Amino acid sequence: MSTSSNAVAKPASAGEIQGRNQFYAARYQAACDVPLQTVQVAGSLADAPQLEAIFTDTLGYQFTLNANGDAYLQLAIKEWNEKMLLMTNSDVTIAMNGADITGTKITNQQCPDLKGEIYHINTHEWGSYVLHIHGQPNQSVSVRIVKEVVAVK
C-alpha cells in the first residue's frame, strides 16, 4: 500500500521492521555505508531549486536544519519509477511531494550505531522532487539514499 507524502504515514510495526530488514539486508547495509558530504541545503521550498542534487546510485549528505527545524533538498531523478531507500536520523520526519512513501521510519538494524531509520520512496517519473526534512531547530542531520534494488548486469 502506498502512502502519499501529503498523508500522515504511521511508523512501521515491529513485524514490518523485522521483515524489511531481512528482505533488504544488503540494501540497508549499503545505506549504512554511503559516505557523507557536508553541504549547505535550502532553508525554504523556494530556495530548493538552487541546490539540486542529481540522484543516480547513491547520495549522502550531512547538514544542519534551519532555525525552524526545516531543510529542503531538491533531487533530480533520472529514471522512471525510481525506487529509493532513504536513511536519516530517527528523530526527524521527511516528505516528498509527488512521490509515494511506501515504508516509514523502519529502524535500520544493519547499522544500529548510526540510529538511522529507513523510508522507502517511489517516484513515478523522472524530474525534480523536493525532499523536506523536519526536526529540531539547528539540528545536525544526515541523509543517505540508495536504490532499493540494484539492476543485474
3-state SS assignment for residue 153 = coil
Q: Above 60 in pLDDT, residue 1?
A: no
> All 3 cell numbers of residue 1?
500500500
Q: What pLDDT shows up at residue 12?
A: 85
For the chain, the structural domain boundaries read 3-147
pLDDT tier at 7, thresholds 50, 70, 90: very low
Please, are residues 113 and 124 in contact by the beta-carbon 8 Å criterion? Answer: no
Intra-chain end-to-end CA distance of the chain, in Å: 29
Q: How many CA atoms lie within 13 A of 90 on its CB side?
A: 11
pLDDT digits (tens, 9 = 90+) for 55-102: 999 999 999 999 999 999 999 999 999 999 999 999 999 999 999 999
Mean confidence (pLDDT) of the chain: 91
Class level of CATH domain 3-147: mainly beta
**pTM confidence score:** 0.90
The pairing of strands 127-134 and 70-77 is antiparallel
